Structure 1
C-alpha cells in the first residue's frame, strides 16, 4: 500500500535505493527517521560498494550494499536492482543472462521505476520474469504522478509486492520516500531474504511544496545522467570497473555481454 501521511509507528524504515552516500546523506537519513539505506551507485563494483556501506553504517543507521544493473545495450537498457549478491555482476549483459546470474546467486530481484522512459522493464518483460521478480517499485520522486499510477497498476496486475524509494541521486532527496517493514534487518542478507519471501511492508512518501521541489530537481537531473556522451566517455572504452571486459570478471561473461 502507499500512504502519504506517515505515522509514528511504521516499523523498520528502509530507503531501498539511493545513489549517493556521505556524511551529509547519513545525517539526513537519520533526521528523516530512517533505519536503513540500500546503497546502489552506478558503475561501481560490489566490493567497493560494500566497503562504503560498512564505513557509513552505525548503531543508528544500517547501510546495505546493492547493485542497480544496466542490462542490454545503452539504447535498449533495462535496469534491475539486485539485493543480496554474493559475487560481483557486470553491467550490459543480456537481460536473460543477468536474471540467470541473480537466480544462481539467490539475490532478491527488484524492478525500479517500471516503464519509466526508456530505461525500465516494461509490462511484457515483467510478465515474462514474473516468477523471478521479488518486488516492483510503486513510488519514487523522479516519477510524475502517472508513472506512479502505472507502477501501482502493474504491481496489482502481476501480484508483485511493492516498494518505494527516494531513488536519490541528490543528497536532499534521501528520506523523501521509504518502505516500512514489520521486522528489523541486521544484514543485507536478512533484507534480501525478506524481499524474496514477500515480507509485509508499507510504502510511504512525503508530500507538500518541499517534496514537489525535490521531485522536480531529481527529474531535472536525468538529463546528463542519461546522455550518450557520458556513457561513451566513462564506460564503453572497456576500462570501467563494471564493464564485462574488466579484468576482475576474468572473461566469465564474454558469451553474454552486449559490449
Structure 2
C-alpha cells in the first residue's frame, strides 16, 4: 500500500477536491497565501472526507516583498504572520516544533537558497524538487539543492489553478490516514518517490501556472496586501497583539 500526497496547493473548493480524487490523490496540503490559520483549518476540515484528507498549512512570506523568501509550515500550534524576517520566522517555527519545508528552492527571487538551508539544517524537513511553475533548469537545480543539503525530497502541484491539481504528487510507502501521520512521515524522512504527469497537457498546465506568476507579483496586489497594513496575515494586524512587532519588516 502507498499514499499519494500533493504537499502544496493554494486553492480549495468543490472542483479542486473532485479533481484530486479523480487523479488518485489521497492527501492534499492546503496552504493559501495571506490567509490566517483558523480559516485554513476550517476550510480543510470542510473538504476532508473518507476519500480525501486535506491537511492545513501556511506558506509564509518572510522578509520584504522585494526580498521575500517562502517557507512552507505544517503542524502549527498558533498563527504566524507574513513579512517577518527569515530569522524571526524560523525561530517561531522552531518554538512551535513545526514541520518546515522549502518550496521551489532558489526559484526567481522568492525562495530559500542553499545558504539559507545550510544555516539551520536541523529546522528543515524537506526540499521541493519538482514544481510545475519551474522551468526544466529550475527543477534540475532543486534536485541539486536537495542532494547538497541531504534533505528529503518532495514534489507538489503548487496548484494556483484547479486543472493543475494531480499533475504532481509525492508517494509515501504505507498509509497516511491523518494529519499527524503526514507530519510524522515528513519529520522522519519516510521513504517516498516524486511523480509527475507528462505529455502536452502537462506542459500546457505548467506554462499556464508559470504565466500566473505575473498576476501574483502585480503592483496592485503588493499595494493591497503589504502597504495597507490591514490584511489578516500582516504582522501588525491586531489579531497578533503586537507579539511579532520586533521581527516585522513592515
TM-score (norm 1): 0.94
Question: 1:181: how far off?
Answer: 0.7
* Alignment partner of 2:68 out of 77, 95, 102: 77
8 A contact 2:102–2:126 mirrored in 1 = yes
The question of 1:96 aligning with 2:84 is answered no
Q: Which residue of 2 aligns with 1:64?
A: 55
Q: Stretches of 4+ moved more than 3 A in 1?
A: none
8 A contact 2:114–2:149 mirrored in 1 = no
- CA RMSD of the aligned region, Å? 1.0
Question: 1:183: how far off?
Answer: 2.9
| Separation in 2, partners of 1:228, 1:72 | 17
| Separation in 2, partners of 1:193, 1:235 | 34
8 A contact 1:83–1:188 mirrored in 2 = no
1:16-165 mapped onto 2 (5 Å cutoff): 16-165=7-156
| Separation in 1, partners of 2:241, 2:179 | 26
Q: Please give the secondary structure, in 2, of the residue aligned with 1:255.
A: helix
Gaps of at least 5 residues in structure 2 are none
Q: Please give the secondary structure, in 2, of the residue aligned with 1:63.
A: strand
**1:94-145 CA distances to partner (integer Å, 9 max, x unpaired)?**
1011111111111110000000000001121121122211100000111001
Q: Please give the secondary structure, in 2, of the residue aligned with 1:235.
A: helix
Gaps of at least 5 residues in structure 1 are 1-8
Question: 1:229: how far off?
Answer: 2.6
Q: Please give the secondary structure, in 1, of the residue aligned with 2:38.
A: helix
8 A contact 1:81–1:110 mirrored in 2 = yes
More helix by share: 2
| Separation in 1, partners of 2:135, 2:227 | 31
8 A contact 1:236–1:243 mirrored in 2 = no
Q: Please give the secondary structure, in 1, of the residue aligned with 2:129.
A: strand
Question: What is the number of residues matched between the two proteins?
Answer: 250
Question: 1:252: how far off?
Answer: 0.4
Q: Which residue of 2 aligns with 1:227?
A: 218
| Separation in 1, partners of 2:129, 2:44 | 25
| Separation in 2, partners of 1:36, 1:106 | 22
Question: 1:234: how far off?
Answer: 2.8
